[in-house]
Each structure stands twice: as C-alpha cells, then as structure tokens.
Amino acid sequence: MASTLRLSDSFIILLLFSLWVVEAHTSRKLISIKEQHGQDINHFLKDGDFDDPSLYVYFRLNDLKLGTKLRIYFYKNDLQKLPPLLTRQQADRIPFTKSKLDFLLDHFSISKDSPQGKAVKATLGHCDAKEIEGEHKFCGTSLESMVDLVKKTLGSNVDLKVMTTKIMAPTRDPISYGLYNYTFVEAPKELVGIKMLGCHRMPYPYAVYYCHGHKGGSRLFEVNMVTDDGKQRVVGPAICHMDTSMWDVDHVAFKVLKMEPRSGPVCHFFPLDNIVWVTK
C-alpha cells in the first residue's frame, strides 16, 4: 500500500536524494492555493472553514475507517523554487542556532522583518526548542546528518524502512495537486510494535528536516484513498498522536478540528516531501 522500502546503508543517501527530487514539495508555505496555481476552492468551504488549504491535513481518530471522506491538501512545488540540498561538509560550515540569527540573515542576505526572515527565525527556534516529555527531536541540515541522527535515535543496527506519501493517477490523466475530497477505499492498516520518526521539511535557505517521534502514544497507519472522480489515488502514512496534553493550547490542529485543546488525539497525513522512518 504505502511507499515502504527496506533499506541497506549503501542506498540510503541515494534514495533520499531521489525522494527529494521526485516529491519536492514545500508543505509549510502558507500561501493561498488560489494565488499559487489558480484552483478555486470556494465550493469546498463552508462558513467557519479555513481559507488556507495547507491546513487541511488534520483529521480525527474515528475518521480512520473504510468509506470516510475527507478534504485533504497535497501540493507539489516547482523544483526551481526549492532551497538547495547541502552536503554535510557544506552545512557544517554554517552555524545553525537562533543565537546566530543576525549573522545568518546577513549571510543569506535576508531582511529580518521579511516573511523569509521570520521563517528562518521560526525554524531555528523550533529546532533549538527543548524536547517535551516523552519526545525525540532533532533537525537535520543535510541528508547525511539526518540519516546519522535517525540511526542514533532508532538504533544503529536496526532494520530501517522509509515511508512517503505518493499520489498516482490510475488513468493516463495528469496528476492534479491541491485540495480535493479523498475517500478511504481500504480500511487503514495500523503498523504495530514499531518505532518511528517523522521528518518534515522546514522553511529555510537550504534544505532542513525537523524530525521527531514519541516514546509512546502515537499510532501509525498505512492509508489508501481515491478522489471523488476516481482519477487519483493516494497511498502513504498517516499518524495519530494519542496524547496531546503537552501540546501548545494554540496549536492550529485544535482549531482546524474544532476541538478543545489537549482534549484528545490529533491525526494528520504527511505532505509529499515528508519522510517517515520506521523500524521494529
């Protein structure tokens, strides 16, 4: 179902590079889809809904069943607009901490008050933040460093798999990215007895992945969904965070799901450029 590959160390970096090229996608760029590539989403929205389609990745645990229909946003950016991948040697020459923010903004010629400057500050703050109780987290500034940190966290001698979200067109029609209704055409399959880390691309002048996982309390699923017209299929991972009691009360997921903050599980799909590491 999901894109799941068993990895040997000799192919990990090549695999990740190919995933970055093929599924390049900026998931945290909060720009209206109507401005980005002209899709009219008004017919999807009801009073009180959010007009930022990138927020439509969250859902509830009880939605994970055959036949459930959800509005979900998947978008793939132009490769030419993506920040570059750096090698470990290149990345290690550049400081990566909020305490060096002024230096970094000057180094990359970014204005402090610009949207890009605010994004750099937010990413550094996110990566510098201390782990919450029961959490593993780190930021990888190169593919090599991300792989090393994943192995350090999950185990150096474990059998690793990587999962990503894939959009496929069963017919010869081109894939259309955006906000669409998707229906579960198979009962989601839970992966039990595993350790996992989810790695999310962050807004930054070069490719940075924020990876995190919980020592307990999260459930990972493989999902298989199709659009209303049956022309597109999505397979990939989805996760449910069962304990949100330590989350920020202003977390956007609580607003999207219209639920009391910290009151129950929050589930989400993974954008196309995210990577989920799994091991038993």
**Residue-wise pLDDT tens digits, 93-150:** 999 999 999 999 999 999 999 999 999 999 999 999 999 888 899 999 999 999 999 9
pLDDT digits (tens, 9 = 90+) for 24-43: 433 333 223 333 444 555 54
Q: What is the mean pLDDT of residues 176-195?
A: 94
Helices (H), the chain: 9-22, 33-37, 88-92, 101-107, 115-128, 143-154, 252-256
Token code pair at residue 92: 């290690």
Task: Report, as an integer, the average pLDDT of 220-246.
Answer: 95
pLDDT: which is higher, 46 or 215: 215
CA atoms within 13 A on the CB side of 223: 33
Residue 204, C-beta contacts closer than 8 angstroms, at least 6 positions apart: 83, 119, 120, 123
Question: Which are the contacts of 172, defined by CB distance < 8 A and separation ≥ 6?
Answer: none
Partner residues linked to 277 by β-bridges = 162, 197
pLDDT at 181: 96
Q: What is the mean pLDDT of the chain?
A: 85
In this structure, the number of other CB atoms found within 10 A of the CB of residue 112 comes to 13
CA–chain centroid gap for 195, Å, is 17
Q: What is the pLDDT of residue 29?
A: 34
